[in-house]
Amino acid sequence: MNHLSIEQHSILVVDDEVPIRRILSTRLSMMGYQVFTAADGVEALEVFERQHPDLIVLDVMMPNLDGYGVCQAVRQISRVPIIMLTALSDVRDRITGLEMGADDYMIKPFSPKELESRVRCILRRLDALNPSKYQINGVIEIGSLHIDTNKRQVILGQERIYLTHMEFCLLELLASHPGVVVSRQELLQKVWGYSQESVVDTRTVDVHMSRLRNKLKASSKECEFIHTFRGVGYALQNDQSDDLIDHEAS
Give the 3-state DSSP-derived string for 50-84, with helices as H, strands as E and coil as C: HHCCCEEEEECCCCCCCHHHHHHHHHCCCCCCEEE
Q: Are strands 245-246 and 153-156 parallel, antiparallel or unpaired?
A: unpaired
What was the pLDDT predicted at 69? 95
The more confident residue out of 157 and 219 is 157
pLDDT higher than 50, residue 214: yes
Neighbouring C-alpha atoms within 13 Å toward the C-beta of 42: 3
pLDDT band at 223 (very low <50, low <70, confident <90, very high): low
Q: Over range 176-201, report the average pLDDT.
A: 81
Q: How confident is the model at residue 220 (pLDDT cuts 50, 70, 90)?
A: low
Mean pLDDT in residue range 20-34: 93
Of 183, 70, 165, nearest to 118 (Cα)? 165
* Distance from C-alpha of 250 to C-alpha of 74, rounded to nearest angstrom: 40
Whole-number mean pLDDT of the chain?
82
Residue 238's pLDDT is 57
The pLDDT tens digits for 116-150 are 988 988 886 633 334 454 555 678 888 888 999 88
Residue of 219 and 85 predicted with greater confidence: 85
Assess whether pLDDT exceeds 80 at residue 95.
Answer: yes
Is residue 34 predicted with pLDDT exceeding 50? yes
The per-residue pLDDT for 138 is 78
pLDDT for position 1? 33
- The whole-number average pLDDT for the span 40-52 is 94
Side-chain half-sphere CA neighbours of 4 within 13 A: 1
Is residue 198 predicted with pLDDT exceeding 90? no
Q: Is residue 86 within 8 Å of residue 60, measured between CB atoms?
A: yes
How many helices (H) and strands (E) in the chain? 9, 14
Mean pLDDT of 83-111: 85
Q: Which of 198, 166, 168 is nearest to 185 (CA)?
A: 198
pTM above 0.75, yes or no: no
Using pLDDT thresholds of 50, 70 and 90, give the confidence band for residue 219: low
Mean pLDDT of 56-73: 94
Burial class (CB in 10 A: 0-12, 13-18, 19+), 230: exposed
Q: Is the pLDDT confidence value at 6 over 60?
A: no
Q: How far, in Å, CA of 98 to CA of 104, rounded?
A: 7
- Check residues 220 and 217 and name the one with the higher pLDDT: 217
Model confidence band, residue 21 (pLDDT cutoffs 50, 70, 90) = very high
pLDDT at 231 over 90: no
